[in-house]
Amino acid sequence: MKALQFSVSIPQWVALKAAGLVSHKPFYKGPLATVKLTDLPEPGLPTDEWVRVQSILCGFCASDLNLIFLKESASASPFTSFPCVIGQEVCGRVVEVGSGVSEVKTDDFVTLAPALNCAAREINPPCPACRQGMVANCENYAAGNLAPGMITGLCTDTGGGFAPYFVAHKSQIFKLPEETAPETGALIEPLTVGLQSVFGNMPQKKEKVLIIGGGVIGTMVLKAIRGLELDCHVTLSDPSTPAAEWAKSAGADVVIGNGDLLSNTVRLTGAARYKPMMGPDILMGGFARIYDTVGSAKTLNMALRCLAAGGTLSQIGIWHDVKLDLTPLWLKQQTIQGVYGCGFATYKGEWMHMFDIALDMVGEGKVGLDGMVTHKYSLENFEEMIEVNLAKATHRAVKTVVSFC
């Protein structure tokens, strides 16, 4: 089968860092490319607790883009094995079921929770994080009966969604209703990240909150807030006009485009603005909660300045080598909370996996995902898909996917 496979060596990394100063293209075209279409055998079941899935749609996300362009933190490298087939936002049909699997059957329509945690690695007893329900933050990503890998798409043993077939542990598979559109099925995973962000930093009644970034994850945070029917005022900041338009249609009360975020925070929250002898202005007051879906030094430092005393910043994704001025954190006793993947939370009085919560909310019509998939490609046209993701505003792209239909 043809699959989109990632691999990199240290000499290749050095050469690409130099070539990348001139052009993006060497990262995905030519002899130095980190991703290539490769002929691979169909993956087999690692144990009888696994299933094999035929891919239908797989979304291309910022994590895929950062991996290809070698922007992921080097600290994560012990929890990755390559060559690996990338792709984690996937839906498909079960084509083979291990004898130890009763949760799904052949031909079931499913989506994937990508974390390769203690359950997937068949480690018992599970680590403290998995026992707490933090199943995307497992302490054993480099242990057990699999090659290192935090998720499907970063593990050489499992394959990934950018191939006709991949394998998944029974704990990773969630059955979709047959009437579910494949586009919705491929968007459940990013929705769970939005939900995890909100469950971990829940807005209270009448609070004013800020979402930085109007891409897919920022939109999912907004949809999670609205779907949970939380009575709060939501501002979303994104300089892209298409992203701002999409955020407004998704339920943002206020959308900030190219305007000064500090000035807008003063206007929207009543914060007081002070100018120090040196450096950028600082605010006293601000938003009660901020969700930063960009994770650059610029957005992180701005978020801390715009966050109120005692406020919590949810950091969803991160660039490498981010330098912070922690003065606002210290001065206003703020909290920074990381968000990676999703786990369990209490919903409707039950302890539930975030994928079950997402599917329940979509099924009840509390969250709509129609229209978010704007571009579809064949696997052979992956280069064009990458180029569109490098210029999303120009192409008015929200979510791009590879279709195997």
pLDDT one digit per residue (tens) for the chain, 405 residues: 999 999 999 999 999 989 888 899 999 999 999 999 999 999 999 999 999 999 999 999 999 999 999 986 666 788 899 899 999 999 999 999 999 999 999 999 999 999 999 999 999 999 999 999 999 999 999 999 999 999 999 999 999 999 999 999 999 999 999 999 999 999 999 999 999 999 999 999 999 999 999 999 999 999 999 999 999 999 999 988 888 888 888 899 999 987 789 999 999 999 999 998 888 889 999 999 999 999 999 999 999 999 999 999 999 988 777 888 999 999 999 999 999 999 999 999 999 999 999 999 999 999 999 999 999 999 999 999 999 999 998 999 999 999 998
- Residues 201, 78, single domain; the answer is no
| Strand 208-212 relative to strand 233-237, pairing | parallel
Phi, psi of 210 (to 5 degrees): -125, 135
- For residue 109, the SS3 value is strand
* Confidence at residue 278, expressed as pLDDT on a 0 to 100 scale: 84
Task: Clarify whether residues 18 and 152 are in a common domain.
Answer: yes
173 and 200 in a single domain? The answer is: no
On whether the CB atoms of residues 164 and 2 are closer than 8 A, the answer is yes
Domain count along the chain: 2
The answer to whether residues 198 and 325 belong to one domain is yes
Q: Is residue 344, in this structure, part of any structural domain at all?
A: no
Does 16 reside within a domain? Answer: yes
CA angle 40, 45, 48 (to 5 degrees): 175
Residue 21 lies in a domain: yes
- Assign 295 to helix, strand or coil: coil
Structural domain contains residue 178? yes
Tell me how far apart the alpha carbons of residues 8 and 33 are, in angstroms, rounded to a whole number: 8
Q: 361 in a domain, yes or no?
A: no
pLDDT at 74: 62
**Cβ distance 236 to 222 under 8 Å?**
yes
Owner of token pair 């996300």? 61
Same domain, 89 and 208: no
Q: What is the rounded distance in angstroms from the CA atom of residue 235 to the CA atom of residue 287?
A: 9
Which range marks the domain in which residue 35 is found? 2-187+369-403
- The verdict on residue 117 lying in a domain is yes
On whether both 183 and 194 belong to a single domain, the answer is no
If asked whether residues 158 and 241 sit together in one domain, one would say no
Q: Residues 116, 143: contact at Cβ < 8 Å?
A: no
Token digits of residue 122:
């068949």
Q: How far apart are CA 353 and CA 282, in angstroms?
A: 39
| Same domain membership, residue 51 and residue 164 | yes
C-alpha pair distances (Å), 52 with each of 48, 120, 149, 171: 11, 14, 18, 13
- 221, 180: one domain: no
Q: Nearest-CA neighbor of 244 among 233, 255, 235?
A: 255
Domain end among 339, 359, 381: 339
Out of 339, 358, 384, pick the residue that ends a domain.
339
Q: What burial class does residue 380 get, using C-beta atoms within 10 Å of its C-beta: 0-12 exposed, 13-18 middle, 19+ buried?
A: exposed
Same domain, 199 and 279: yes
Residues 207, 172 share a domain: no
220 domain residue, yes or no:
yes
Q: Look up the CATH number of the domain holding residue 226.
A: 3.40.50.720
Q: Within this chain, do residues 203 and 118 fall inside the same structural domain, yes or no?
A: no
Any domain includes 73:
yes
Q: Which of 320, 339, 358 is the last residue of a domain?
A: 339
What pLDDT is attached to residue 312? Answer: 98
| Predicted pLDDT at 403 | 98
The answer to whether 37 and 10 are in contact (CB under 8 A) is: no
CATH number for position 385: 3.90.180.10
| Whole-number pLDDT of residue 182 | 97
